[in-house]
Structure 1
Amino acid sequence: MRFQNIHPTPMLQPGTNRWKILRDFLNKPRDVFPSHPLPHVQQDLRDYEGDHPRITWFGHSSYLIQARGINLLIDPVFSGHASPVPGMVKAFPGANTYGISQMPPIDLVIITHDHYDHLDRKTQLALAAHTKAYVCPLGVGKYLQRWGVPTSKIRELNWWESWNADVSETPLHLTAMPARHFSGRGLVNGKTLWASYLLQFAGAKIYLGGDSGYDNHFVQIGEKAGPIDLAILECGQYNLQWPLIHMLPEEAVQAAIDLQAKWLLPVHWAKFGLAYHAWDEPIRRVTAAAAKRGVSITTPQIGESILLQHHYPQTEWWAQKSA
């Protein structure tokens, strides 16, 4: 069985093939990579028990959500690379300053799909003994089992399937929702599902977009679940050769509007160069589009925290020339 998107979603535009993609990947422009170590915030994450959700971004699509003693880790990639071959897709200097040793005890690891920049073997091996539970889309659990996670700790979900996660005294309601993407860690795609998620806990609704091209599922989710306190949406690694599987920055802003999001946190940038645009082009474009459309956007540095209802960093830190 192969999983499919709601609407037909060819991964590549007509006239583009894998060999062209590989050639372009091996000949990326210099500005795909920053010319200096990225600035970041280093802080102690282990003791937060506040009432309001705190979200700490670690670059790309890895982040920690904490509130009322519960710790949720999303798509953690701390190995320093995002590829089957170490060193092929390396983290930018300054972008890989956090690791497992800096994490609090993790109640739940949330995986959106099986791609290497979201599901990292080395990181999961290190987390396995220190994590209460895992949630992932259908089929992704086989990787976790292979890496030593007991089946009893893994909960797989289909789109629109909900789970009241019994991982803490703090109630946590989680629903897997559609995304427009694909899956696969080798030559065969579509054997596992990809998903976004809606988290409801600590009096807040937080949408985890995972990887997704733009489609009408954002409107559907907004109508069912909106308003949403924070939408965490990808804004980078796009290209017109694959326009349906990753959003352009302007589409991310439209998705936030569709979701009825009060705030947008743009992710999927600032750690790995997986496309051909300048490393900071996504954030420059998404902040400009948000300003034009009247969307509230927060832009934390790597390692900096958002505190819902209280603190939404908005500095243009990417314009700094050194860490």
Structure 2
Amino acid sequence: MITFLILIALFLIAFWGFMQQPKFGKAPSGDRLKLILNSPQYKNGKFENQNYTPDLAEGVSYFSMFYEFFFKKVERKTPTDLIPSVKTNLLALSLDQDVLVWFGHSSYFIQLAGKRFLIDPVFSGNASPIPGTTKSFKGTDIYTVDDLPEIDYLLITHDHYDHLDYETILKLKPKTKKVITALGIGSHFEFWGFPAENIIEKDWFNKVALDQNLTLYTAPSRHFSGRSFKRCNTLWTSFILETNDFKMYLGGDSGYDSHYKEIYEKYGPFDIALIDNGQYDEKWKYIHNMPEDVINAMKDLKPKRVLPVHSSKFVLALHPWDEPLKRITELNQNLENPFPLVTPMIGELVELRNENQQFKKWWEGIL
């Protein structure tokens, strides 16, 4: 019994030490906490979605969910082939080019109106605080921070590890002019050494004037947050990026809800929309879109083009790795008026103002 208690004590000490690592960030306090407490989204001691959002679907337990995730066999959950890619030289891009480059999952680079944006970058090869547990697919890590030019605005939709990667963020520090994110997340950045004056935190439905021809808005998504055991002590958001003649919806992670229609009515119309499509499951359908939900979101947002994201880099759900792109393509083709889908390979240059640009079904034939 004494030996057992000693082992338990050692485990608890080791676990406590592990949780003190800076990668877990820092809970909001001081002025940042005051902003949170005054937010209409902060209720009952945590941030809440616009409508009731259970963590799991009715009848699903955490035990059954975790058991399936670790023990259920799923064919082709991870690709055995190399994910194809194109290595665009981002350092050589002219600033007058309005372009987007996707890095897999929900990480991407945008040049618009002479400014450079980086959204939810994860270049460490892992989407988990535990090393080696959620590794990126072979071929998806062709970019590093060294391949990036100076970033005018680093946008972070929420603080989950597959969107806010500590290792990547530290390397980006000398290249990043401003960070724009949702309430509470600035606490992580300040803790990691970013100057407070370079961190902009916003609630939903806020406006950030970037220059005379460039405006950013924050808007709802249906999700949750947290880097440790306490959930929803920081806010999650989507963004709208707008010039005088071009508008983008940058969705972040979200389940389907009425916010898509509300966002269109308040901020639309959109030239292109990036929508969460991947790493989904009926068990947590309220916080990640199922493919059918993506179609409904597209109908609500009415964009000229749609770029499905949140796929093709990490295993976070129990579906074949290429199912998100296959399903959204099939469902879209069955619409009376299909939306033009933007499906680039990792690194492929997307011309934001070229509505006629064509993309291959690059995932076909990849095992």
Structure-2-length-normalised TM-score: 0.84
Q: Which is richer in helix? A: 2
Tell me the residue number matched to 1:316.
Answer: 361
Answering whether residue 281 of structure 2 is matched by residue 236 of structure 1, we say no
Q: Verify the 8 A CA contact 2:113 2:213 in the aligned structure 1.
A: no
What is the alpha-carbon root mean square deviation over aligned residues? 1.5
Same amino acid, percent of matched pairs: 42
Tell me the residue number matched to 1:142.
Answer: 187
Cα deviation, residue 309, structure 1: 2.6
Cα deviation, residue 96, structure 1: 1.3
Residue 124 of structure 1 is aligned with which of 147, 169, 184?
169
Query: Residue 236 and residue 158 in structure 1: after superposition, are their counterparts in 2 closer, same or farther (change >3 A)?
Result: same
Structure 1 unmatched ranges of 5 or more: none
What does the per-residue CA deviation read over 1:18-58, in whole Å, with 9 as the maximum and x for residues that have no partner?
A: 33222222235241101111000012011323545201000
Tell me the residue number matched to 1:281.
Answer: 323
Residue 176 of structure 1 is aligned with which of 218, 237, 240?
218
Aligned residue runs from structure 1 range 266-277, under 5 A: 266-277=308-319
Tell me the residue number matched to 1:87.
Answer: 132
Answering whether residue 341 of structure 2 is matched by residue 302 of structure 1, we say no
Cα deviation, residue 101, structure 1: 0.6
- Structure number with greater Rg is 2
Cα deviation, residue 68, structure 1: 4.1
Residue 261 of structure 1 is aligned with which of 286, 294, 303?
303
Partners of 2:330 and 2:240 in 1: CA distance: 26
Aligned residue runs from structure 1 range 162-201, under 5 A: 162-165=207-210, 171-201=213-243
Q: Verify the 8 A CA contact 1:72 1:110 in the aligned structure 2.
A: yes
Cα deviation, residue 99, structure 1: 1.1
Write the letter of the residue equivalent to 1:248.
M
Aligned length: 319
Partners of 1:242 and 1:138 in 2: CA distance: 24
Answering whether residue 49 of structure 2 is matched by residue 5 of structure 1, we say yes
Partners of 2:77 and 2:114 in 1: CA distance: 38
SS of corresponding position for 2:109 = strand
Partners of 1:39 and 1:320 in 2: CA distance: 11
Partners of 1:68 and 1:47 in 2: CA distance: 17
Tell me the residue number matched to 1:224.
Answer: 266
Partners of 2:306 and 2:135 in 1: CA distance: 27
Answering whether residue 76 of structure 2 is matched by residue 34 of structure 1, we say no
Tell me the residue number matched to 1:252.
Answer: 294
Structure-1-length-normalised TM-score: 0.95
